[in-house]
Structure formats: structure tokens, C-alpha cells
Structure 1
Amino acid sequence: MDQAITYKGKVVFMKLSMPSFSRTLKSYVEDEACFMFLNKGEVNVRTQDDYLKLNQNVGMLAKCLNYFFEPSQNKDACNDGIEAIGIFLYPSLVKELFEFDLSTSQHQVNYNVKQVQIDKMLNVYKESINILLENPELADESIVETKLKEFVLLASKSEGAPSQLDFLSALFKPNEVEFKTTIQQNLFANLSLDELALLCHLSLSSFKRKFIEVYGESPKKYINRKKIEKAAQLLQSPESRISDVAFDVGFDSLATFNRNFTQVFGQSPSKYRLS
């Protein structure tokens, strides 16, 4: 069951439990940045240009953008799902809490989503938020204000920012990721066209038009061809099982892989390997 604490009408602390899940979208929220701790389990995060692994020792700092949570490939670590704690920041609350004018800082950082090692100070902070979420009657306005200020202080020091103002200013400046970078980074990830469009922050129709403009052919045709070309390279290694190759290049079933491979090369993957 999810638990949340609000401040000035906005969620600032949340505990999210996901017993089991498939790929799940964290959708863009304008002017929202967040930090995520894990209380238990492991989870992967797929962004436009990165793929992060999070656990109880590694948290995540994220600007406002679309990204996906994906189950960990470590089956032992995700048998019981995950439990996460989110800290959410907004420019309007920052201005009120700190009396900062974020526009006065030109500080920038070269990431949109970043892994952060959970040191002792951050771990103690996480436990204090756990207590508040379990006992929301304790979370009056002054306590919430104090805990938000504490987080900004800890996170800015952890990131080595010149100041708290610089840390917060950079956090609300998403980096633009090139369209080609997003496609190439996620080419073999078994993403649907809808999911790729979401990563690019485009509607499906706009995504298809942009793709044809950039690559000169439809996304389905291009992506399928690249997957098959990659599979042909992997099949040259006799140690690689055909089923493993199929999943490694982003096909969700062996039958689909065999059919597509045969259409491109005129023979099955097993015959191609022998030849």
C-alpha cells in the first residue's frame, strides 16, 4: 500500500510498494525532481541515454522526464518485489523554503538521472522519512520543512555542488538528449514503439515522422533489421544459445526471432550458424 505526505498541496514524501511488476513508466511531471531510496529489492531504470541498477546501497537522483522502471535480472533480489521511498522537489516549494531565485544560478550537470551511493548520512535520513511515513501524524508543517531542507543539504554535499542554490538550479534544468542517442541506446531493449516514443517525449505519430526524417525508413523496419544484424554477429560465437541471442537483441519469443531472421537471411538461425 502506498503512503504519502503532502506539503502545500504537493506530494513530497512517498513510500511505494510493488510486489511484482513488469516495465512501468514514471511519467514526466513538469517542474518535478526526485530522489529514490530502496528499502528492499532491486530495480533497473531505463532512461533516454542510460540504464541504471538500484538497490539498498544505490539510490537515484532524477530530473523531470519520462523513464521506465524494469524488474531486476537478479531473480533472488526481486522475489518479493520492491519497496521504495521517494523525495520530491518543486521550484515553487524551493523558492518558499529557501527564498532562492533559481534563475540567478547558471550551474549545470551532465546528467538527467544519476546513481547515488547511499552513505551513512543518507541512510539515517531515509530511516527518518520511513518513520514519518509510518506515523503521518508526526509530519506537521515544520517537520516537513525541516526534512526537506535537510535533504537538500545532504544531497548537495553528496553531489559536490558549489552551493545548495546551484544544486537545486541544476536539478530543474533537464539536459536535451539527441533523438539518435535515445534510439541507439535502447535499440535492443524490446521496447514497443509507444514506449520508445514516450522516452523521446513525443506522441507516437510525431515519433514515427521524426524517425523517418532521421533514418529514412520506418522505425519498425529499421529496428527489426538492426536486431537481426546484431543477432547474426552473435550467432558466430558457437557458445551462444540461439534462444539467448534472441532475447539479447530484444525479441520477446524465439518463434518471433526465427521468423524475422528467416525473412532477412532466407534461412533459420540454426542453418545460418552452420553455414
Structure 2
Amino acid sequence: MATPFKYEAIFENNGCFIYFKDRAPRLMSAEQNVQVNSQEAVLLKCGNHFMEILKQTDEEEVEAMIIHLYPELLKKLYANELPKTIQINECKTHSEVIVSKEVISKFIESLEFYFVNPTLINNDLLELKIKELILLLIQSKNVCSIQELISDLYSTQSVQLKNVIELHRYSNLNQEELAKLCNLSVSSFKREFKKVFNDTPNSYMTDLKLKRAKELLSITEMPINEIAYGVGFNDPLYFTRTFKKKIGSSPSEYRSAN
């Protein structure tokens, strides 16, 4: 993947294990907004997710390895074993789980060997590697999170619009992307948003971002470009134009006056 990179990951009926080799993205979903580090892995449950990696250098590329986990496949592979591995025991966690590189590094190395030697791969070996991955995850320090996620593969998830907006109020997501995180069409999302916030998505989110920008301009010495990115604008010039239109002065003028 070349940077800058933004990807819409939709897993309607499966979980997804993703390992990032060199640089890792910010992951955004209905339940979490988290920065993953390089050489770490993340486990995503069914639902809509967005991955975003900002550009740091010219001609930069990012490498990732992705394994999809389908409920039907897990049931087939584990038969009567799976119910024993997904008992929750009062674990309370988020749906996205960062798995440490110490746990998973050797497994990734073994997969890379088969990418170099694809003629060695067969169905029996693929099944074995999937079971190996699940067993490694179950034995990791994130066992409660892994168990909860696997359990979630078998149940329908509900999403609260207000929670999604609160979580991503300073993210660079447009209303179409926010609607997908809420599992709603754009028209339904707008209607529900109006009921909850008594405003349009664009107006409400812009006001939130500008309010935070005013706070940062007043209490920090952060460069204006960094403030723009930090509150969810991907274009500092657009941020400046929007700020001046809504507030009545440019960001630099507002800072000087406060």
C-alpha cells in the first residue's frame, strides 16, 4: 500500500486478523479509535472499519498481512472445541484487540515462508495455520478480548449512533463513512442524527471541531497545521477558510486576540 492510504474494511460475516509490518494505521470503527504500532496485529470483529495511514515520506509503502476468520470455518475446524474456548467469564473489553508482536512474530514468519513457497500450501496446512493462530491468540495476554471477539462472530451487533459520533468527533470521516459505521444508509443516518442532536451531521461535526480548535489555539502553541489535522481536517487551508467563515477571524487572528 502506498501512503497516504485510507481503506474501508467491511466485514459483514467474518472477523479479520491484520498484521502491519513496518507502519501501522489508525483504526476507526463504531466502538474504537486506536493507533496501532508497527509489527503489531489487530483483530477486527464483524462490522465496518476504516484504516488510515498518513504520508511521512515520498514513495513510501506499507505492507500488511490479512487473515479472514469466518464463523462457518471456525465451527468446522473446532467442532465441539470452540464453545469451550469462547466462554467469557465476565470479561469486559472493546472489540478491536492489539496483539503484541512477541506473541505473533514467529507465526508471521512461518506464513511468510509459505508466501515464498506457495506450492507447499494445501487445505490441510491452511486449516492447521488457522487453528494455530486461534490457539496463539487464546494464550495471549489479551485472552478475554480474543474470547469476546470470537463469541461476537456468532451474534448480531447493535450500534449506538451517539457513541459513534462521540468516538469520532475529531476524526477525518465524512457523513457517508460515519453512516457505514452506524450500519445505516446516508438518508437514515441523517434522520437519526437529527433526532439525537437536532442538527445536520456536517454542521454539528464542524462546530465540534472548531470549538476544539479554538481551545487549542488559546491554550497551546501548536502550529495551526497540526491543530487542523488534530481536530479532523485533512486540509489546513480548508480549515482556515472554514474557521474564518464560522468564527469571523482567521486562526492566527483568533490566537493573537486570545
**TM-score interval, normalised by the smaller of the two chains:** 0.7 to 0.9
Cα deviation code 1:34-71 (max 9, x no counterpart) = 21122333322222232333344321111111111111
Q: 1:133 to 1:173 in 2, by over 3 A?
A: farther
Return the alpha-carbon distance in structure 2 between the equivalents of residues 170 and 102 of structure 1: 13
- Residue 136 (str. 1) matches residue 125 (str. 2): no
Asked whether the equivalents of residues 71 and 153 of structure 2 are also in contact (C-alpha less than 8 Å), the reply is: no
Out of 22, 37, 45, the position equivalent to 1:63 is 45
User: Please, which moves more after superposition, 130-139 or 105-114?
Assistant: 105-114
Q: CA deviation at 1:101?
A: 7.7
State the superposition RMSD in angstroms: 2.8
Secondary structure at the counterpart of residue 158 of structure 1: coil
Show the counterpart of 2:216: 234
Q: Which residue of 2 aligns with 1:243?
A: 225
Q: Which whole-Å CA distance do the structure 2 matches of 1:199 and 1:116 have between them?
A: 23
- CA–CA distance in structure 2, aligned partners of residues 50 and 99 of structure 1: 31
1:33 positional shift: 0.9
How far apart in 1 are the matches of 2:109 and 2:18?
A: 13
TM-score of the two chains, using structure 1 as the length reference: 0.80
Q: Which moved more, 1:107-116 or 1:61-70?
A: 107-116
**Residues 38-117 of structure 1: matches in 2 within 5 Å?**
38-72=20-54, 75=56, 80-100=60-80, 107=88, 110-117=93-100
| Structure 1: distance between partners of 2:149 and 2:239 | 46
Check if 1:198 corresponds to 2:180.
Answer: yes
What is the rounded CA distance, in whole Å, between the counterparts of 2:26 and 2:147 in structure 1?
Answer: 30
Q: Which amino acid aligns with 1:266?
A: G
1:36 pairs, out of 14, 18, 29, with 18
Report if aligned partners of 1:58, 1:115 keep a CA contact under 8 Å in 2.
yes
Residues 139-165 of structure 1: CA deviation (Å, up to 9, x unaligned): 112211211111111111115648x98
CA 33–109 in structure 1, closer or farther in 2 if over 3 Å, else same: farther
Unaligned 5+ residue runs, structure 2?
A: none
Runs of 4+ residues deviating >6 angstroms: 164-167
Question: What amino acid does structure 2 have at the position aligned with 1:85?
Answer: M
Indicate the SS of the match to 1:217: coil
Contact 2:170 2:230 in 1 (8 A): yes
- Identity across matched positions, percent: 30
| Alignment match, 1:26 | 9
**Cα gap change, 1:249 to 1:47, in 2 (>3 Å):** same
- Among residues 192, 198, 220, which one is paired with 2:202 in the alignment? 220
- The code of the aligned residue for 1:83 comes to E
Residues 171 and 179 of structure 1: is their aligned pair in 2 closer, same or farther, counting only changes over 3 Å?
Answer: same
State the shift of 1:171 in Å.
4.8
Q: Does 1:254 align with 2:236?
A: yes
Q: 1:153 aligns with which of 125, 130, 135?
A: 135
Which blocks of at least 5 consecutive residues in structure 1 are unaligned? 1-17
Note the C-alpha offset of 1:21: 4.2
More strand by share: 1
CA distance, structure 2, for counterparts of residue 165 and residue 246 of structure 1: 39
Taking the aligned partners of 2:151 and 2:166, their CA distance within structure 1 comes to 30
Tell me the matched-pair count. Answer: 253
- AA aligned to 1:80 is E
Instruction: Indicate the residue corresponding to 1:271 in structure 2.
Output: 253
SS across alignment from 1:236: helix
Q: Is the 8 A contact 1:36 1:61 kept in 2?
A: yes
CA distance in 2, matches of 1:136, 1:42: 26
